[in-house]
Amino acid sequence: MKIVSFDDYRIGVLNDDGVVDVTDVVSEVPDKLKWARMLVFIEEWDSLRSKVEAAAKDGTSKPLSSVKLMAPVPSPRKVYAAPANYKDHQEEMANATFIPHDTASLASAEEYGMFLKASSAVTGPEDMVMRPYKDRLIHHESELVMVIGKRGSAIPLGEAMNYVFGYTCGLDITVRGGEDRSKRKSFDTFAPTGPYIVTADEIEDPGKLEINLWVNEDLKQHAFTSNLIVDCPNMIANMSWVATMEPGDLLFTGTPSGVGEILPGDLVTINISDVGEMAVRVGERS
């Protein structure tokens, strides 16, 4: 099932004809907390699923062109991320001239573990990436993103994938430089996600997916998640040992080699097999 957030924090199911609004199946939340509606939806998923399936089957589809898609999880509590989680990207960074070559900047996810991006960096498939500097190098990074479905701390490795609600496409936009990762990757609009969440039951193995990224019409990144240094179950087990995972949290799994500069006017397109495709424009702050 493909789940979307659209218009004013409404929730829908995407089908061939458009979007079916299933917002009414979710427990009512105060209007001032509508930004959290998707978090409630994910937390209640086990009890809601049959109702959602029935509503999607019987409801009327709205044309996709008539709605504005938001980030599938518009307001995640936390955004986890794995640093240098492909060997080829780690080697790419080791040979790069645009970063300081200290231990932390070159450490892989196996050594460095994780970092956090600001949840306010999350935007949707119809929003622009806004460059905050004219004179800094800013890169694209294509990533599979896991959406956490249940609360868990120190999650056992063998149970890790039971905590995944679904998957989506993500771009980990990055300013290069000597500052801490969390600063360079947390600017507003630096975590585009979407266009929808594919529920976990539709992805047999997240370690067997293909990722491609284009800037305009040029293929810049191509990889397979089978090449992750730390795989999806181990990421969940390791990161949840540090910080409790909660419904709607996002986990960016790392980028392969081929990262490169994005400039105003560029169209950045990510495609992940069985998950989906998202294309966002690049602009700059006034």
Domain boundaries, the chain: 2-66, 79-284
pLDDT band per the 50, 70, 90 thresholds, residue 5: very high
230-277 pLDDT per residue, tens: 999 999 999 999 999 999 999 999 999 999 999 999 999 999 999 999
pTM of the model: 0.94
pLDDT at 13 over 70: yes
Q: What is the pLDDT of residue 194?
A: 97
Of 258, 129, 250, give the one whose Cα is nearest residue 190.
Answer: 129
Residue-level length of the chain? 286
Greater confidence, 102 or 13?
13
Cα-flanking dihedrals φ and ψ of residue 226, to 5°? -65, -15
The whole-angstrom separation of Cα 113 and Cα 164 is 19
Averaged pLDDT for residues 192-201: 98
- Is the distance from CB of 270 to CB of 277 less than 8 angstroms? yes
- Is the distance from CB of 168 to CB of 196 less than 8 angstroms? yes
Q: What is the pLDDT of residue 210?
A: 98
Q: What is the pLDDT of residue 88?
A: 73
pLDDT band per the 50, 70, 90 thresholds, residue 106: low
Sign of CA dihedral 254, 279, 262, 7: negative
CATH 3.40.50.300, applies to 79-284: no
pLDDT band per the 50, 70, 90 thresholds, residue 207: very high
The whole-angstrom separation of Cα 157 and Cα 201 is 19
